[in-house]
């Protein structure tokens, strides 16, 4: 495995760890790094096509998981905001009659 693919593999592993710990800042940084490293790996003349294909499949699976985690987090935050809004509205009604 050449240098570009090794870096891509390490970034993929770090992105997976950040996803599991829900470290959104790290995910953003690692996503950018991953995109850059994919470009470098694709342009590398000495790349092993089979290894690169396997790495791209692993990345595709990881990004699929990441989309699910992000969607679930967005839904949870939306529900939390809805609950806060309802509580705020209830408090306003209570203050009007209290």
What is the residue-level pLDDT of the chain in tens, covering all 98 positions? 788 889 999 999 999 999 999 999 999 999 999 999 999 999 988 888 999 999 999 999 999 999 999 999 999 999 999 988 888 777 776 677 76
Dihedral Cα 39, 43, 48, 52, nearest 10 deg: 20
Domain count, the chain: 1
pLDDT confidence of residue 74? 94
Q: CATH no. for residue 86?
A: 1.20.58
User: In this structure, how many other beta carbons lie within 10 angstroms of the beta carbon of residue 6?
Assistant: 12
* Contact criterion met (CB below 8 Å) for 34 and 12: yes
Where in the sequence is the domain holding 90, given as residue range(s)? 3-97
Q: Which of 40, 39, 8, 14 is nearest to 27 (CA)?
A: 14
Q: Which of 39, 31, 69, 38 is nearest to 55 (CA)?
A: 38
Q: Which residues contact 31 (CB under 8 A, 6 or more apart)?
A: 15
């Amino acid at each position: 495995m050449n240098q570009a693919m090794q870096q891509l593999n390490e970034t993929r592993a770090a992105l997976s760890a950040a996803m599991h710990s829900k470290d959104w800042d790290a995910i953003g940084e690692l996503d950018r790094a991953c995109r850059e490293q994919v470009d470098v790996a694709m342009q590398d003349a000495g790349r092993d096509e089979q290894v690169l294909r396997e790495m791209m499949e692993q990345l595709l699976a990881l990004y699929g998981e990441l989309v699910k985690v992000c969607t679930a987090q967005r839904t949870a935050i939306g529900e939390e905001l809805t609950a806060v809004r309802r509580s705020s509205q209830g408090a306003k009604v209570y203050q009007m009659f209290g």
